Structure 1
């Protein structure tokens, strides 16, 4: 299970870096409105996936992971926002931080469903939930970043 989550995390990082490179190459073509939409969408979805996968990999280090996730989310949001337009830096920061924290919270609920008053799960059901949720979040990330990549061509 850990190998699958790690592979999904690396795939998400690779896809995010490829889209980041494409965004950097065509940064002069953005209008303010399109730049704001790209910064909020990219940083929110990308960091949501990163936050969830990091917590699923290291659930025993929740405090450390939460600090790392906030730094990664805010930093990547600022970088994405500054590439797109200067006005989008703050929006990228907030969406990146919130997306990363929401992803981490989803990972916490997967490991301990009783936090949301859901029925407790056994080990086999936990592994199945992690794999299904990781697959769904990877699909969501691929489809969202694919649509953003397509929007650069149109």
Structure 2
């Protein structure tokens, strides 16, 4: 399970890096509205997925892990928001922070379904649920990144 999560984390990071580099190269073609949308969407989806996977990988307290993932989310939002203007920077940082906070919340419910008063039968399928949600979030990052990249081409 650890290899799968590490591989998905590296895949998410490489997707985010590839999208950032491609947007950085074409930042002269960006308009304010596109930069705002790109910073909002890309930073929130990417930081949510990465922070959820980091929560699964790192053992320890939920407070420490949430603090680390929030800082990661703010960094992702800063990177994508800094491509054009200050308003997109502000939106990127805010959405990255929200994604960094929400990722551990979602991961905590996946690890312990009793938090939301779900039946204990879901605990028997813990590794399947972790793998399924991690794969699904990586798929969402991939589709979102493709759509953002494609919308710049139009």
* Band the TM-score falls in, shorter-chain normalisation: over 0.9
CA distance in 2, matches of 1:98, 1:11: 21
SS at match of 1:16: helix
Q: What's the Cα RMSD here?
A: 1.4
* Structure 2 length-normalised TM: 0.94
* Structure 1 length-normalised TM: 0.94
- 1:63: how far off? 2.1
Say whether 1:106 aligns with 2:116.
no
Per-residue deviation, residues 11-38 of structure 1 (Å, max 9, x unmatched): 0000110000001101111111111100
5+ residue gaps in structure 1? none
Provide the residue aligned with 1:5 in structure 2: 5
CA distance in 2, matches of 1:79, 1:8: 21
5+ residue gaps in structure 2? none
Count of aligned pairs between the two proteins: 154
- For residues 5-154 of structure 1, the aligned pairs below 5 Å read 5-121=5-121, 124-154=124-154
- 1:132: how far off? 0.9
